[in-house]
């Protein structure tokens, strides 16, 4: 399973996430990730952005409306997941 490293912007702590699903909406790439490879785990949606050096980085989606809409999309893409948000 593909993994991504996320660096918390506040603490600079690196967190390894497992990518369960990805999608592209309006030209932007989104990842549905978890901390655990198997079983129940908190999940997050990351949005791909380019930094000042045009490197690809991801930020957590925090806007409630965007999160709800993306949650519905990922719930349809991941058949066997029980997604609560």
Alpha helices for 1-85 (secondary structure H) = 64-77
- pLDDT, residue 42, reads 87
The structure's pTM equals: 0.82
pLDDT of residue 75 exceeding 90, the answer is no
Measured over the CA atoms of residue 17, residue 39, residue 22 and residue 82, the dihedral's sign is negative
Task: Please name which of 3, 1, 4 lies closest in space to residue 56, comparing C-alpha atoms.
Answer: 4
Query: Would you place residue 70 in the very low, low, confident or very high pLDDT band (cuts 50, 70, 90)?
Result: very high
Query: Would you place residue 32 in the very low, low, confident or very high pLDDT band (cuts 50, 70, 90)?
Result: very high
What integer is the mean pLDDT of 31-57? 85
pLDDT of residue 84 exceeding 80, the answer is no
- Judge contact between 53 and 82, C-beta under 8 A: no
- Judge contact between 78 and 20, C-beta under 8 A: yes
């Amino acid at each position: 399973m593909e993994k991504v490293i996320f660096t918390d912007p506040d603490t600079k702590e690196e967190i390894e996430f497992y990518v369960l699903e990805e999608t592209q909406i309006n030209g932007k790439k989104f990842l549905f990730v978890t901390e655990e490879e198997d079983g129940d785990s908190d999940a997050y949606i990351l949005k791909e952005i380019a930094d000042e050096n045009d490197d690809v980085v991801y930020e957590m989606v925090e806007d409630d409306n965007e999160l709800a809409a993306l949650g519905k999309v990922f719930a349809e893409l991941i058949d066997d997941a029980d997604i609560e948000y």
